[in-house]
Amino acid sequence: MRAASSRGLGVRLVLAFSLIAMLCALAIAYYVTQARQQVGADYTALVTDVVRAQQDPAAMRLTLDSLIDRPDRIHLEQLNDLLWRIPRRIEGIRLQLRRSELAPASYDELLDELAQVESRLPALEAAIDAAAEEGLDARGGEAILALGLDIEEGLAWAYSELNELLHRASAEQRQLMERLALAVAVLLLLLLVAIAAVMRMLFHLHRQRETMRLQSRTDDLTSLGNRRWLREAAGEAFERRRRHGSPLSLMLLDLDHFKRINDAYGHPIGDAVLVAFARILERQVRRVDRVARMGGEEFAILMPDSDLAGAEALAERILRATRAMPLPGPAAEHRLTVSIGVVEAEEERSFDRLYSRADQLLYRAKADGRDRAVAGHAAPSPAGGGVAVHQDAGVAQHACDGESRR
């Protein structure tokens, strides 16, 4: 019973721990996934704008080269389009940088460079307007080229440095998030260890509690139930009898002349005899029957769903098995017998009254010569000095086999 209870609790604790461990693993996986996505989302838009902005200086260099090689009005329009687009890109990048978690000191120099580029745009725009109205001569072309290259160099340097800054910051934040994820995993692991320790402690406490409970209800020598355990079992049996009307019988057994064995061979041999007798009782009874050692050489069997006839049949088997039981060691030549009192519950509603009737019949079995079972109804005799026994038909009474009995 104790093993089954401990196994049941152990299985429940293992299942609970497995569920907690699975939830922790899912939490870690979710945290890492969300952290990576968040880290990527922090800089994705800004990096994308910078990459797009890096196309502007390249487009300006290409347009300027084309304008110098083959002056054409379309190249002037392309430059005007770039001059319109560049300030807007710079403003968008400036706003995103200020909203980011980057330290302003890391990008202030780059914003200053972009501000200087913006300040040169009106001059280039004026030179392009003049060339469009008056025609592009060599002097005007050189002015446009000089201004354009200056702007292109400033944009290219600022965007390149800004792109490197964003990639470095993204990598650092990713490393930070990975360290945080590792820290969370370690904390969850420590939590699991703590939970496992608590569950282990609960399991041991449960086992200790079960051990103490069983020790208080179990006979140390024979491992049978004791008087307290039988009383509890009887309470359940009486309740079942009250609900379903099922029969209930009780048998009290007392080994004959057991003191002689202890005196002749010592208490260790006597204890071995008691243990052997307990095993005989366990082999003879049904699974639903309850066998207990009441103390000394006295035993009891509570038999739910068994009437008096069934209890008598069990008593007969126990009498035969006891006579045939070999005794250990130097007591092998001794023959063991047992006296038995058997009753079926009638009007009783408590174990004590049923026990009292069985004890009276056991006393009668001892008085009639031992090595026998007396079953029936016991009540105080009219004279008040003894026990009146009303035996049912078929009750076994066995004569002594030559051994002197008191």
Span 176-201, pLDDT tens digits: 777 777 777 777 777 777 777 777 88
- Residues 111, 124: Cα–Cα separation, whole Å: 20
CB-based contacts of 283, cutoff 8 Å, min separation 6: 321
Condensed to tens digits (0 to 9), the pLDDT of residues 98-132 reads 887 788 888 888 889 889 888 888 888 887 777 77
Of residues 7 and 257, more confidence is placed in 257
297 annotated active-site: yes
Number of domains in the chain: 2
End-to-end CA distance of the chain: 41
273 & 188 share domain: no
Q: Tell me, yes or no, whether 290 lies in a domain.
A: yes
- Residues 339, 362: Cα–Cα separation, whole Å: 7
12 & 136 share domain: yes
Q: Which CATH number belongs to the domain containing residue 40 in this structure?
A: 1.20.1420
Q: Tell me, yes or no, whether 402 lies in a domain.
A: no
Work out the mean pLDDT of the chain and round it to a whole number.
80
175 & 233 share domain: no
Q: Which domain holds residue 334?
A: 227-391
* DSSP H or E stretch at residue 375: strand 373-380
- How would residue 387 be classed by pLDDT, with cut points 50, 70 and 90? very low
Q: Which CATH number belongs to the domain containing residue 342 in this structure?
A: 3.30.70.270
CB 157, CB 114: distance < 8 Å: no
CB 121, CB 83: distance < 8 Å: yes
For residue 24, the 8-state DSSP code is H
CB 222, CB 293: distance < 8 Å: yes
- Residues 23, 42: Cα–Cα separation, whole Å: 28
- Residues 107, 141: Cα–Cα separation, whole Å: 34
270 & 167 share domain: no
CB 351, CB 236: distance < 8 Å: no
53 & 182 share domain: yes
- Between the alpha carbon of residue 118 and those of residues 125, 145, 181, the distances in Å are 11, 17, 43
> Comparing 28-32, 242-246, 353-357, 378-382, which segment has the lowest mean pLDDT?
378-382
Percentage of the chain modeled with pLDDT above 70: 82
- Residues 269, 210: Cα–Cα separation, whole Å: 31
Q: Which of 109, 113, 125, 297 is catalytic?
A: 297
Q: Using the 3D structure, point to which of 171, 195, 219 is the last residue of a domain.
A: 195
How would you classify the pairing of strands 338-344 and 373-380? parallel
- pTM of the predicted structure, to 2 decimals: 0.51
